[in-house]
Amino acid sequence: MSKILVIGACGQLGTELTQSLMNRYGHDNVIPSDISDKKEFYKNNNFETLNVLDKEALLNATKNHGISQIYLLAAVLSAKGESDPMFAWKLNMEGLLNVLEVARTENLEKIYWPSSIAVFGPSTQKEMTPQETIADPNTVYGISKLAGERWCQYYFDKYGVDVRSIRYPGLIGWKGQPGGGTTDYAVEIYHKAFNGESFECFLEEDTYLPMMYMDDAIRATIELMEADPEKVKVRSSYNVSAMSFSPKEIFNAIKLHYPQFEISYKPDFRQKIANSWPYSIDDSEARDEWGWNPNFDLGKMTEEMLTNLASKEVV
């Protein structure tokens, strides 16, 4: 049985992915780790407090737990990265290089590392952005993800490291809150509606961005990681897609459930980031090569989000 180390297990994606990995492969076979000490998420597990920038600590954790797979989820996202570009670069790049090096020297089975639609930029084709196209990111986050994709390809080609990756769109889930992204508005809006508050959106009403419900994102990740290696032809990072919508459209979808809900728009620096990203993504390679197919559209996601927020409240 593989032993999995999840780095960044207390974040928005990490919280849900770790739980799914534990359910699938057994609690003892998944070691959650994070720089934050929110260990309460993982009371009964072998939680490791780990800074991915500390290569020796990473190596020790890998050896001590007999780790064979690493999921590296720790990163500074697009909006937050702009307030301290040097730190964003350091964490996003050195973190990945540390993991790739440990994978190489310790002969690990597999590595998962997320990329993002942020690898694309102002000159990229906006509609149905293809897998291979111009990528001229203008955020430090996007630049680090694009460079990271090249490093993944390099370690695969040169050392045979089995590294797999997805270019996530904005991820929307009800369990954890995102931190520091440009697509975060699409999570916060549900919380505001559910709490009976109005919502001030930091993007203009017609800003289309690719998005995905967390359940689809988790399933995509696990399906890619379980795919036969020969089927995984893209070793930089796969485009995956589920839905695209604007703030106005998500507001209208929520208003069907909360007719009193109100929105106002006050675009800030994140508008420029959003304007540089695609409206929609062509994910034919992921569909053809390892069978990717999303389950959630905006309507179905909205029902799930609001129902789950209500059940969380009851518990």
Q: How far is the CB of 88 from ligand AKB (least distance, A)?
A: 11
Q: Is there binding between residue 182 and ligand AKB (CB under 6 A)? A: yes
Stretch of 49-57, 90-98, 181-189, 221-229 lying at the interface with ligand AKB (CB under 6 A)? 181-189
Q: Binding-site residue total for ligand AKB (CB under 6 A)?
A: 11
CA distance 301 to 312: 16
State which of residues 181, 247, 278, 294 lies at the interface with ligand AKB (CB under 6 A): 181
Closer to ligand AKB by Cβ: residue 9 or 73: 73
Closer to ligand AKB by Cβ: residue 70 or 209: 209
Q: How far is the CB of 23 from ligand AKB (least distance, A)?
A: 24
Q: Is there binding between residue 12 and ligand AKB (CB under 6 A)? A: no
> What phi and psi values does residue 34 have, to the nearest 5 degrees?
-165, 160
Q: How far is the CB of 28 from ligand AKB (least distance, A)?
A: 31
CB proximity list for 283: less than 8 A, separation 6 or greater: 131, 238, 239, 240, 241, 292
Map the footprint of ligand AKB across residues 53-82, applying CB under 6 A.
77-78
CA distance 35 to 11: 10
State which of residues 19, 33, 92, 116 lies at the interface with ligand AKB (CB under 6 A): 116
Q: How far is the CB of 21 from ligand AKB (least distance, A)?
A: 21
Per the annotation, the verdict on 208 as an active-site residue is no
Closer to ligand AKB by Cβ: residue 32 or 137: 137
- Judge whether 17 and 73 are in contact, CB under 8 Å: yes
State which of residues 50, 72, 76, 117 lies at the interface with ligand AKB (CB under 6 A): 117
B/e letters for 132-145, b = 16+ CB within 10 Å, e = fewer, are: eeebebbbbbbbbb
Closer to ligand AKB by Cβ: residue 62 or 78: 78
Which residue do the tokens 């500390």 mark?
54
The residue whose Cβ lies closest to ligand AKB is: 181
Q: 42, 71, 141, 185: which is the annotated catalytic residue?
A: 141
Q: How far is the CB of 39 from ligand AKB (least distance, A)?
A: 25
Closer to ligand AKB by Cβ: residue 33 or 139: 139
Q: Is there binding between residue 212 and ligand AKB (CB under 6 A)? A: no
CA distance 123 to 102: 36
SS3 for 281? strand
- Judge whether 217 and 243 are in contact, CB under 8 Å: no
Cβ atoms within 10 A of the Cβ of 75, count? 28
Q: Please report, for residues 219, 223, 226, 286, 303, the alpha-carbon distance to residue 300 in angstroms, rounded to integers and kept in the order given.
A: 16, 21, 26, 22, 5
Which residue do the tokens 């990717």 mark?
292
Q: Is there binding between residue 118 and ligand AKB (CB under 6 A)? A: yes
Tokens standing for residue 284: 């034919």
Closer to ligand AKB by Cβ: residue 141 or 292: 141
CA distance 280 to 277: 9
Closest CA to 73 of 22, 32, 117, 118: 32
Burial label for 113, CB within 10 Å (0-12, 13-18, 19+), is buried
SS3 for 33-74 is EECCCCHHHHCCCCCEECCCCCHHHHHHHHHHHCCCEEEECC
State which of residues 155, 168, 190, 290 lies at the interface with ligand AKB (CB under 6 A): 168
Q: How far is the CB of 178 from ligand AKB (least distance, A)?
A: 6
Q: How far is the CB of 58 from ligand AKB (least distance, A)?
A: 23
Residues near ligand AKB (CB under 6 A) are 77-78, 116-118, 141, 168, 170, 181-183
Q: Active-site positions?
A: 141
